[in-house]
């Protein structure tokens, strides 16, 4: 039976550490780190994420600002706000909640965020830094996934790691972080032939697809570490992952639940990244 990797508990411990760091940074520099979250429009899921991020910032004692803009905000107005936040010495981290309304070019907005305030690590400069092995801000969800794997005590060196999903925000950066730890990494996606044959090789299996129950117990190597990034809503509105927990849990060595796995870690790592931006 798989042991549960408790993302909620690990996230709470990290936020507690951040709280202590905020106190000591304030003593040292005379001000607290400040995270500014920008949301455009009324997307209900985005509003929940943004609320949770601001709540976490408040828990750690850091300053937070919420810039909530109406759906019809122009791209130029949003870029103007980003420029003002870039220039504001009281703001350390800027997060623009995605997705943005269709009339706004997301790439342009992300590119406009100052590299050293890019708490999400989505700016091309930080993406390049990650792939070139330079000091950079690592995206929150991938960084949180590595912390979850580390909490099992597994050494990744020489292990087979399979990542299902190749998005720029999860799949690809997770693959690079696993590679940096000397795992042998396979990236699977929608065109992968015989996905089960690939995932059964995995000592560590990270699934970031967005399809409820895609991974079933017969696709998992016995004893594997199984990280479920998926956040899907069932017909009854219940939050569920990409992994069929009931059939995978008896096979896996370690497994993250949904909710309570990767989700809380993403927020904890956002706090860690804000501290990092402050120090920069």
- Element at 69 (helix H, strand E): strand 63-69
Residue 120 bears catalytic tag:
yes
Give the per-residue contact string, 222-251, with ligand NAP (x = CB under 6 A; - = no): -------xxxx-------------------
Q: Return the sign of the alpha-carbon dihedral for residues 186, 154, 228, 93.
A: negative
Residue 97 bears catalytic tag:
yes
* Residues facing residue 34 across a β-bridge: 63
Is residue 266 involved in binding ligand NAP (CB under 6 A)? yes
Annotated catalytic residue, options 32, 53, 176, 221: 53
* Residue at shortest CB range from ligand NAP: 167
Q: Give the phi and the psi of residue 203 in degrees, each rounded to 5.
A: -75, -30
Is residue 273 involved in binding ligand NAP (CB under 6 A)? no
Token look-up 């759906």 returns: 71
How far is residue 260's CA from residue 9's CA, in Å, rounded to a whole number? 9
Is residue 145 involved in binding ligand NAP (CB under 6 A)? no
Specify the DSSP class assigned to residue 121: -
Q: Please provide the size of the chain in residues.
A: 280
Q: Give the nearer residue to ligand NAP in terms of CB position, either 37 or 81.
A: 37
- Name the minimum Å distance from CB 31 to ligand NAP: 29
Is residue 211 involved in binding ligand NAP (CB under 6 A)? yes
Is residue 27 involved in binding ligand NAP (CB under 6 A)? no
Q: Which of 224, 229, 112 is nearest to 173 (CA)?
A: 229
- Name the minimum Å distance from CB 80 to ligand NAP: 28
Helix or strand or coil: residue 194? coil
Q: Give the nearer residue to ligand NAP in terms of CB position, either 85 or 143.
A: 143
Annotated catalytic residue, options 97, 118, 228, 242: 97
Token look-up 């103007």 returns: 80
Give the per-residue contact string, 148-187, with ligand NAP (x = CB under 6 A; - = no): ----------------xxxx-xxx----------------
Rounded to 5, what percent of the chain is helix, strand, coil?
45, 15, 40
Is residue 209 involved in binding ligand NAP (CB under 6 A)? yes
Q: How many Cβ atoms from other residues are within 10 Å of residue 229's Cβ?
A: 29
- Name the minimum Å distance from CB 263 to ligand NAP: 4
Specify the DSSP class assigned to residue 139: P
- Tell how strand 93-96 and strand 232-233 pair up: unpaired
SS (H, E, C) 75-92: HHHHHHHHHHHHHCCCCC
Residue 28 bears catalytic tag:
no
Is residue 195 involved in binding ligand NAP (CB under 6 A)? yes
- Tell how strand 184-188 and strand 160-164 pair up: parallel
The footprint of ligand NAP on this chain (CB under 6 A) covers a number of residues equal to 26
- Name the minimum Å distance from CB 39 to ligand NAP: 16
- Name the minimum Å distance from CB 195 to ligand NAP: 6
* Among 210, 213, 217, 260, interactor with ligand NAP by CB under 6 A: 210
Residues that bind ligand NAP (CB under 6 A): 141, 164-167, 169-171, 188-192, 195, 208-211, 214, 229-232, 262-263, 266
Catalytic residues: 53, 97, 120
């Amino acid at each position: 039976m798989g042991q549960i990797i408790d993302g909620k508990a690990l996230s709470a411990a990290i936020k507690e550490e951040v709280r202590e760091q905020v106190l000591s940074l304030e003593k040292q520099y005379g001000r607290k780190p400040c995270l500014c979250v920008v949301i455009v429009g009324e997307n209900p899921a985005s509003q929940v994420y943004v609320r949770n991020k601001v709540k976490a910032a408040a828990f750690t004692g850091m300053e937070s600002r919420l810039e909530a803009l109406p759906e019809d905000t122009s791209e130029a107005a949003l870029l103007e706000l980003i420029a003002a936040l870039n220039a504001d010495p009281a703001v350390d981290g800027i997060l623009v909640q995605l997705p943005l309304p269709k009339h706004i070019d997301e790439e342009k907005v992300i590119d406009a965020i100052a590299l050293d305030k890019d708490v999400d690590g989505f700016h091309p400069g930080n993406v390049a830094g990650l792939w070139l092995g330079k000091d950079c801000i690592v995206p929150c969800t991938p960084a949180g996934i590595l912390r979850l794997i580390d909490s099992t005590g597994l050494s990744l060196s020489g292990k087979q790691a399979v990542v299902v999903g190749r998005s720029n925000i999860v799949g690809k950066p997770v693959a690079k972080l696993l590679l940096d730890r000397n795992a042998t990494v396979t990236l699977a996606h929608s065109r992968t032939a015989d996905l089960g044959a690939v995932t059964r090789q995995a000592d560590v299996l990270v699934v970031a697809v967005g399809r409820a129950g895609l991974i079933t117990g017969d696709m998992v190597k016995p004893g594997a570490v199984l990280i479920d990034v998926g956040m899907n809503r069932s017909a009854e509105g219940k939050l569920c992952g990409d992994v069929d927990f009931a059939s995978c849990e008896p096979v896996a060595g370690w497994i993250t639940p949904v909710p309570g796995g990767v989700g809380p870690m993403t927020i904890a790592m956002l706090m860690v990244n804000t501290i990092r931006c402050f120090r920069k």
